[in-house]
Structure 1
Amino acid sequence: MVFRSENSFTKLADKFFGDRARRRLSDYYDMGQKLQQAMINIPPDVYVATQMLFSIALAAFGLILGAIVAIIVYFFVEIPTFDIYFPEPFLSFWLAYRKIFISLFLAVFLGVLFFMIGQFIFAIYPGYVASDRKSKIDRLMPNAVMFMYSLSSGGMPLIQIFKSIASYEDVYNELAKEFSRIVLEIEELGHDLVTTLTKAVELTPSKNLADLLQGLITIIESGGDFTSYFRERSDYYLEMARQDQKSFLEFLSLMGESYITAFVAGPLFLIIIQTVMAVMGESDVMLLYAVVYMIIPVGAFFFAFIIKLLTPVEVGKAPVIQEKHVLRREIDEDVMKKWNSWKMRKKLNPKELFIENPPAVFLISIPLAVAFALFGIMQYTFSPTIDWFFLVDDNIFISIVIALLPYAVVYQINKRRTGMVLKFTPVFLNRIASMNESGMNITRAIRTLAKTDTTPLRKEIEKINRDLEWNISLVDALIRFANRLRTFELTRTTILLVESLRSTPNVTEILRISAKDASNAELLRRERIKNMSMYVMIIYISFFVFIGIVYIISTTFLSVLAESTSKVAAAGGGFMSMGSIDEEFYKGIFMHAAVFQGLFAGLVAGVMGEGDFSSGVKHSLIMLIFAYVLFTVFI
């Protein structure tokens, strides 16, 4: 929706309906609160006027659509008669003009319906945006409070702490916007800190942030210690984050049970029923097609998509942090050419191109997969029948493996490397803090670790040391470290560290705080993966149950049914009419059911286990290959 601030449409709406909305301004107090919580920069009267204009425009569209439907109904649809009795002359009048009445009713109904939809969209939109902002703010509270604790321990004033968080909007997102509003109120509007914080408590959609700000007001008025308060709150919000994560895992448990019931047990039941019905000569092949080619893949995909939308994880790469000290000078043209040539070679290096950017591997794998599929398909004359699909399905399934396998490999390599760095970053920071506490400066400590460290982080430590040897500042060396990986956890920890290092000489304490922040992020990540892995196992178990039953039906049940029907036919009938069983047809259908179940159950496992579709590709390949080999080799 584009109505986040005033534009030409809102101005037009204000011109036509603004006066009407302003006469009832007192009725829109709650709306105004929601707009401010959602940070929709439109006055409530203008928003209501825009709601009216948008609804009228939508109603006009509905009337036009209704008129088209009315014309179709009037000229091309035969309306059945109903047993409705009116006294004369109403009955004759109704029979003569009922098409006109029904057509007009449809046109008016669609117009009114679209008008109500417009009203409803604008009514719920601020609440939806505010709720989305609340979840984003709450997710960042543990790290943000640790950030404030670190800066406060260095003696930074409270308003400067707010400005520091507000300056990293691309990292702290909606939380940074809240503090930007506080800074704006103080610096631009001249309000005092207590008044501004009191107003922020009312306007923020997050109860957690409101509680934090309310506590700050108490500290300011009583002259308490900010540093102690932030330290206590950081532990509290970490525990809150763990509780929220636990609640989400309980929700996942319910969704996992729903998935197994709806998209594993349900299709399996329908497949068995249709097989039995085939023996009785009452089979509906189209229903079987719908189960295998629609319900299993489409249902599982949309289920995974819904879980993905509800999963509170950050997607994509973290933003690049701007280096603080950049030397700008004229560079020799030959040196610049060599530099550009080196950068191009680095970008084209397979490690740089694929490991650092896994989707790039599709540039190779997808053309190969398409070529392989087309080669197999062209061996057979096309026919819009299931028999033609049975001929080419091998090439299609193998081409899916060709397309996805390279991506799954490079993605897992990249993810494992990132996971190792996140795991050992707290250890790295604590070791530097210990060395610094014993009298060694940070640069020398990093140089020592670059030579002696044996963890998977050693290569990154060597790169940091190399930057320091080239006289790059410690702050920029750490920023480059974060920019190489671009994970949100490491980026926020690095921001905490570099901002704190510039605000205090107490380096050891800052390193300890940064290590604790990294440990907290790693703790939440590992707890989430550990607990969610249980649901991955549930998906695997349900898949193997599905494929096991389908395998038994294909190898035992079908052959017995085929033999029974042939005996009945040879005997001249029986107590019921029995249909013949096309054994190869059902084996082919069951193989497709198993393959599609594996392919899309893998995506569900990835989303439930690790929070994204990419992590599910490896599960999809494992299940797909297992199902395909089972049906092609052992059946």
Structure 2
Amino acid sequence: MASPLVFAPLVAVLGALFALAAAPLAPSIDRSVSRLSLSAFGRFARRRRDANPDQVAALQGAHVPQTYRVYAARTYFYATVGALAGSILGVYLVASVLVFLGTASEALQSRFPAAVQSLFVDGVGGFAVGELFGIFLASGATFGVLAGYAAYQFRWSMPSYRAGERERRIDASMERTVAFLYALSRSGMALPEVLRILARNREVYGESAEEMGVAVKDVDMYGADILRALGRLGHRTPSEELAEFAENLTSVLQSGRDLPGFLERQYEYYAEEAEAQQEQFLELLATLAEAYVTLLVAGPLFLITILVVVGLTLGDTLTFLRFTAYLLIPMATVGFVVYLDSITETATGGATVDEEDSESASRFQSIRGRPARTDGGQTESASTPLNRQRLDVYETLRPILYRLRNPVTVIRESPTVLLYGTMPLAALYLAVQWWPLVAAGSTDLAAYDGPLVHAALFVLGTFTVAYELHRRRVKAVEAGVPDFLDRFASTNEAGMPVVQSFGRVVGSDLGALSTELERTWADVQWGARIEHALGRFRDRTDTPAISRVVTLTTNAMHASGDLGPVLRIAANEAKATRRLERDRRSELLTYLVVTYIAFFVFLAIIVALDVIFIPNIPVVEAAAPTDQVPGGGGTGAFSRTANLTQATKDAYSLVFFHTGLVQAVCSGLVAGQMGQGSVKAGAKHATVMLALAYGTFLVLA
């Protein structure tokens, strides 16, 4: 028996790897790793900075919160640890293989080539000490180099990948960002203040606002002038579009030319670019739709058909069919959906909380802070700490109580919350249905899949209803935004004050938006400031379009009472966005239909194999001679169909059934991602396809 000391290096390696994996979650470990890395590789990393400008640019573009010296030193440290760990693990792996070869059974030994079988007799003991040392040295060096190189490449590929993702998001949000800059500069606000407001609303305007925040930080925290900050922004950003815009903006500021005129031209340019990019995206989506139908629908279908024929003529292929149904199709679909999500994701805005506009953020600030002493020097009363504790408990429980008192409203505003209730109910249903089967020791998978399908339909169906109600409410509210802005701008340009203009617009018919505007107007009539009322209106609707409108309007009010030009710009931007969404929806409807047709073809062929092809193959209880088949003479490959028993036919039927169900869910998710740009929207299509597939097999099979 081997000594426990033999496994000491293995335990040490696993402990070191675990510590490195826990470093991002434990600040003390993370600081220790940084100190060790800098002490070992800090000087070398500093010298390599000038030789690796691409790595420096990737770190800056990805907004990695570490300097190049720290990140590079940690990378070298990880690569070194990876090389050592790979070397030690390689030695243990090779030793385990040698021990296994020496103790393998004769039946297993016969399956290996003759060159390998010679090792079974000798095992580890058949090698001299020098030979073993050479084997371990070669294996350790090989695994060590591979592990170190993989760790090094992975560490440097992550900033490049993040920078590329940020570049795509910045380019996608440039149109709305430039529209925001143009609108506020048109109102008379200074550019540095406009950039500050933009940086505070990065959740609304996306990655471009995040990038502008770098320039704002240079001005406010480090004392740089706006020209130098914009110059640094152009060098640091991963987006060529933003770099060019920053360079042109710097030139305009230096020359003293008309800034609003420049921003207007830039906005028109990015609006045209958005249309061109959407055309390119639709062309790419058309290619991806064809690729999906070919590779992930027709491809598995052809593969299944070939495997069935081969399995019935030459040998058992049930294992490959199960691999195709349970692993290949789901994994390929997940990869395809992730890729679709990466190219369709845009910088959507949510509700932000501005410290100047939020009353609730500062309403109880004095109560929570340290109480001031009175002039008489008396401290707080004995009941004050208790009242503060009660207030803290109330503030903690208030959102929970609101959800409990208004479950329908919460589900309507956030459909994902519904899954927290339906999934436990589905799990409870499965436990009730499966427990008698488990207690009876049943191993028939066909008895388990019925309740699983019922639970899946329940979860997907209820989420579909909630999500569709939420989506339609949001779309209905956003549909009235362009008309609202147009009318608001017209009344303001006619000379009405902001509050009076808003009240006049509320009385007009704006569809679903009118209800929310009436609530906002009631808020104003009860004494709230128009900025605060609009902020609560934004929080209630919680849509990207409303968030952008409210952010722009409330900030323009601080600059000037003449909101007409600003609102007109926002109206044009909202109209352009609506037009692009409408064009995209009409184009994507074609691909949605293609996905449904491909699924129906897949389901029809699978059902035909299960209902027509398999039942018509002769069944025998035992293997017939290899030179004939039941019912007549025959030789060749088809003679092996005599080995098809009823159990085998049932196994094939079960795989076909499961394949149809898996393909239904996968096709539904792809249809949602392709048709509406969201996997959540795919729940509707997955529910429909899953119900059709399940009902078809129940009726025909």
The reply to whether residue 571 of structure 1 matches residue 631 of structure 2 is: yes
For 1:90, the equivalent position in structure 2 comes to none
Secondary structure in 2 aligned to 1:471? coil
For 1:547, the equivalent position in structure 2 comes to 603
2 CA distance for matches of 1:211 and 1:231?
A: 16
TM-score under structure 1 normalisation?
A: 0.88
Q: Given that residues 599 and 623 in structure 1 are in contact (C-alpha distance below 8 angstroms), is that contact kept between their aligned partners in structure 2?
A: yes
After superposition, what is the alpha-carbon deviation per residue over 1:314-356, rounded to whole angstroms, capped at 9, x for unaligned? 579554455616283799x9x9999988993565323223111
- 1:441 Cα shift? 3.7
After superposition, what is the alpha-carbon deviation per residue over 1:377-420, rounded to whole angstroms, capped at 9, x for unaligned? 3454668887x111232222112111221111001100111111
Distance 1:552 1:8, change over 3 A: same
2 CA distance for matches of 1:519 and 1:24?
A: 51
- 1:228 Cα shift? 0.9
1 CA distance for matches of 2:509 and 2:474?
A: 18
The reply to whether residue 69 of structure 1 matches residue 69 of structure 2 is: no
Q: Summarize the alignment of residues 48-59 of structure 1 with structure 2, pairs less than 5 Å apart.
A: 48-59=72-83
- 1:474 Cα shift? 1.2
The reply to whether residue 558 of structure 1 matches residue 599 of structure 2 is: no
The reply to whether residue 169 of structure 1 matches residue 202 of structure 2 is: yes
Q: Given that residues 279 and 581 in structure 1 are in contact (C-alpha distance below 8 angstroms), is that contact kept between their aligned partners in structure 2?
A: no
The reply to whether residue 352 of structure 1 matches residue 387 of structure 2 is: no
Given the alignment, which residue of 422, 427, 443 partners 1:365? 422
Secondary structure in 2 aligned to 1:224? coil
Moved more, 354-363 or 190-199: 190-199
Q: Summarize the alignment of residues 140-179 of structure 1 with structure 2, pairs less than 5 Å apart.
A: 140-179=173-212
Q: Given that residues 324 and 475 in structure 1 are in contact (C-alpha distance below 8 angstroms), is that contact kept between their aligned partners in structure 2?
A: yes
The reply to whether residue 527 of structure 1 matches residue 583 of structure 2 is: yes
Q: Given that residues 203 and 350 in structure 2 are in contact (C-alpha distance below 8 angstroms), is that contact kept between their aligned partners in structure 1?
A: no
Q: Given that residues 187 and 565 in structure 2 are in contact (C-alpha distance below 8 angstroms), is that contact kept between their aligned partners in structure 1?
A: no
2 CA distance for matches of 1:507 and 1:233?
A: 21
- 1:518 Cα shift? 2.4
- 1:622 Cα shift? 0.3
Distance 1:159 1:360, change over 3 A: closer
For 1:15, the equivalent position in structure 2 comes to 39
The reply to whether residue 129 of structure 1 matches residue 162 of structure 2 is: yes
Q: % of aligned pairs identical? A: 28
**Structure 1 unpaired stretches of 5+:** 84-92
Moved more, 440-449 or 296-305: 440-449
Distance 1:451 1:42, change over 3 A: closer
2 CA distance for matches of 1:512 and 1:235?
A: 14
2 CA distance for matches of 1:492 and 1:219?
A: 26
For 2:121, the equivalent position in structure 1 comes to none
2 CA distance for matches of 1:258 and 1:191?
A: 51
Query: Matched residue pairs, number?
Result: 623
Distance 1:558 1:45, change over 3 A: closer
The reply to whether residue 461 of structure 1 matches residue 481 of structure 2 is: no
Distance 1:509 1:347, change over 3 A: farther
Q: Given that residues 297 and 596 in structure 1 are in contact (C-alpha distance below 8 angstroms), is that contact kept between their aligned partners in structure 2?
A: yes
1 CA distance for matches of 2:490 and 2:424?
A: 53
Given the alignment, which residue of 458, 462, 466 partners 1:410? 466
AA of the residue aligned to 1:542: A
Given the alignment, which residue of 572, 589, 592 partners 1:536? 592
- 1:293 Cα shift? 2.3
2 CA distance for matches of 1:70 and 1:243?
A: 57
Q: Given that residues 69 and 107 in structure 1 are in contact (C-alpha distance below 8 angstroms), is that contact kept between their aligned partners in structure 2?
A: no
Q: Given that residues 204 and 349 in structure 2 are in contact (C-alpha distance below 8 angstroms), is that contact kept between their aligned partners in structure 1?
A: no
For 1:392, the equivalent position in structure 2 comes to 448
For 2:279, the equivalent position in structure 1 comes to 246
2 CA distance for matches of 1:384 and 1:98?
A: 52
2 CA distance for matches of 1:264 and 1:129?
A: 32
Secondary structure in 2 aligned to 1:27? coil
For 2:373, the equivalent position in structure 1 comes to none
Distance 1:33 1:309, change over 3 A: closer
Given the alignment, which residue of 263, 268, 271 partners 2:301? 268
For 2:383, the equivalent position in structure 1 comes to none
Secondary structure in 2 aligned to 1:40? coil
Q: Given that residues 28 and 44 in structure 1 are in contact (C-alpha distance below 8 angstroms), is that contact kept between their aligned partners in structure 2?
A: no
2 CA distance for matches of 1:501 and 1:328?
A: 23
Secondary structure in 2 aligned to 1:556? helix
2 CA distance for matches of 1:283 and 1:401?
A: 33
Distance 1:420 1:73, change over 3 A: same
2 CA distance for matches of 1:247 and 1:117?
A: 35
Q: Summarize the alignment of residues 40-439 of structure 1 with structure 2, pairs less than 5 Å apart.
A: 40-77=64-101, 82=115, 98-280=131-313, 282-314=315-347, 318-322=351-355, 324=357, 326=359, 328=363, 344=401, 347-380=404-437, 388-439=444-495
Distance 1:634 1:314, change over 3 A: farther
Q: Given that residues 201 and 213 in structure 1 are in contact (C-alpha distance below 8 angstroms), is that contact kept between their aligned partners in structure 2?
A: yes
AA of the residue aligned to 2:153: F
Secondary structure in 2 aligned to 1:324? coil
RMSD across aligned positions (CA): 3.6
Distance 1:275 1:316, change over 3 A: farther
2 CA distance for matches of 1:189 and 1:110?
A: 48
Moved more, 526-535 or 353-362: 526-535
Distance 1:322 1:485, change over 3 A: farther
Secondary structure in 2 aligned to 1:155? coil
1 CA distance for matches of 2:328 and 2:177?
A: 44
Distance 1:569 1:180, change over 3 A: closer
- 1:124 Cα shift? 2.8
- 1:52 Cα shift? 1.8
2 CA distance for matches of 1:370 and 1:349?
A: 25
AA of the residue aligned to 2:475: G
- 1:143 Cα shift? 0.9
2 CA distance for matches of 1:338 and 1:38?
A: 40
- 1:614 Cα shift? 1.1
Distance 1:76 1:393, change over 3 A: closer
Distance 1:316 1:539, change over 3 A: farther
For 1:591, the equivalent position in structure 2 comes to 657
AA of the residue aligned to 1:507: L
Moved more, 277-286 or 454-463: 277-286
The reply to whether residue 625 of structure 1 matches residue 649 of structure 2 is: no
1 CA distance for matches of 2:429 and 2:113?
A: 54
TM-score under structure 2 normalisation?
A: 0.80
Distance 1:123 1:398, change over 3 A: closer
Distance 1:338 1:142, change over 3 A: same
Q: Given that residues 57 and 238 in structure 2 are in contact (C-alpha distance below 8 angstroms), is that contact kept between their aligned partners in structure 1?
A: no
AA of the residue aligned to 1:344: L
For 1:634, the equivalent position in structure 2 comes to 700
